[in-house]
Amino acid sequence: MSETSKEQELEIIAKEVAPCVRCKLSSTRTQTVFGEGNPNAEVMFIGEGPGKQEDLTGRPFVGKAGELLTRIIERGMGVPRDSVYIANITKCRPTVDLKFEKDRPPEDDEVIACSPFLLRQISIIQPKVIITLGNPSTRFILRTKEGITKLRGNWGDFHGIPVMPTYHPSYVIRNGGENSPLKRDVWEDIKKVLDRLDWKRPG
Ligand code: SF4
């Protein structure tokens, strides 16, 4: 599949996602957050769902967690953010009691409703490595009930694509941020990805 046709395929899905009312999250969103990045990306990051800033801008990982993810990509991996692909399981912001105040992980019915879009994104992009961020995306992609603390840093598999689970940037921020030992864990996980891809570690 050429780059143009991958882009076109992704645009077709994005057009389906924008007016989607398959689950209750459609009732509160400002807009859907489809995902963004290089259609030919070798690395695809998958988070759980958009937060406040993402809902307002229509872009994934643009709040504080997004800034940390961008640093992980640009400093930790040594590549521009737009060279990878970033998406979430749900394309609308999940909030507690649908009050649109406090973010929460997606519920099972929302994952079931929305995940076909993500699966189509993966099948078009065909990344060489998937990095799952936090429990919901790791459990969904690896079909497990195990928690991220146990799974992180260990390779999994998604239909032949190697999967590296690591902590969600929001979780790192909530637990000490830049100085957190969790951040060092994320760096270690990223180094394993670089080695697997045979990418040079940034100096
Ligand atoms: S979360 Fe997904 S399935 Fe639910 S309304 Fe939004 S786009 Fe549709």
**Could you tell which of 15, 17, 107, 112 is best to mutate to test the pocket of ligand 1, judged by most ligand atoms within 8 Å of the CB?**
17
For residue 68, give the amino acid letter.
L
Ligand 1 atom nearest residue 49's Cα: 1
Cβ contacts of 195 within 8 Å, gap of 6 or more: none
Strand partners, 162: 157
Q: What confidence score (pLDDT) does residue 203 get?
A: 76
Cβ contacts of 26 within 8 Å, gap of 6 or more: 20, 92
Is residue 72 a contact partner of residue 43, using CB atoms and an 8 Å limit? Answer: no
Residue 165 has pLDDT above 80, yes or no: yes
Q: What confidence score (pLDDT) does residue 179 get?
A: 86
**Could you tell which of 28, 33, 48, 91 is best to mutate to test the pocket of ligand 1, judged by most ligand atoms within 8 Å of the CB?**
91
Q: What confidence score (pLDDT) does residue 178 get?
A: 81
The Å distance, Cα 147 to ligand 1 centre, comes to 25
Does the Cβ of 121 fall within 6 Å of ligand 1? no
The Å distance, Cα 195 to ligand 1 centre, comes to 35
**Could you tell which of 13, 17, 22 is best to mutate to test the pocket of ligand 1, judged by most ligand atoms within 8 Å of the CB?**
22
pLDDT in tens, 33-58: 999 999 999 999 999 999 999 999 99
The Å distance, Cα 77 to ligand 1 centre, comes to 31
Q: What confidence score (pLDDT) does residue 2 get?
A: 56
Does the Cβ of 23 fall within 6 Å of ligand 1? yes
CATH class, 3-196 region: alpha beta
Average of per-residue pLDDT values in the chain = 96
Neighbours of 47 (CB within 10 A): 28
pLDDT in tens, 92-144: 999 999 999 999 999 999 999 999 999 999 999 999 999 999 999 999 999 99
Does the Cβ of 110 fall within 6 Å of ligand 1? yes
Give the start-to-end residue ranges of the domains of the chain.
3-196
* ∠ CA 52-65-138, rounded to 5°: 100
Secondary structure in 3-state letters for the chain: CCHHHHHHHHHHHHHHHCCCCCCHHHHCCCCCCCCEECCCCCEEEEECCCCHHHHHHCCCCCCHHHHHHHHHHHHHHCCCHHHCEEEECCCCCCEHHHCCCCECCCCHHHHHHHHHHHHHHHHHHCCCEEEEECHHHHHHHHCCCCCHHHHCCCCEEECCEEEEEECCHHHHHHCCHHHCHHHHHHHHHHHHHHHHHCCCCCC
The Å distance, Cα 61 to ligand 1 centre, comes to 17
> Whose CA is closest to atom 4 on ligand 1?
23
Is residue 158 a contact partner of residue 178, using CB atoms and an 8 Å limit? Answer: no
Residue 91 has pLDDT above 90, yes or no: yes
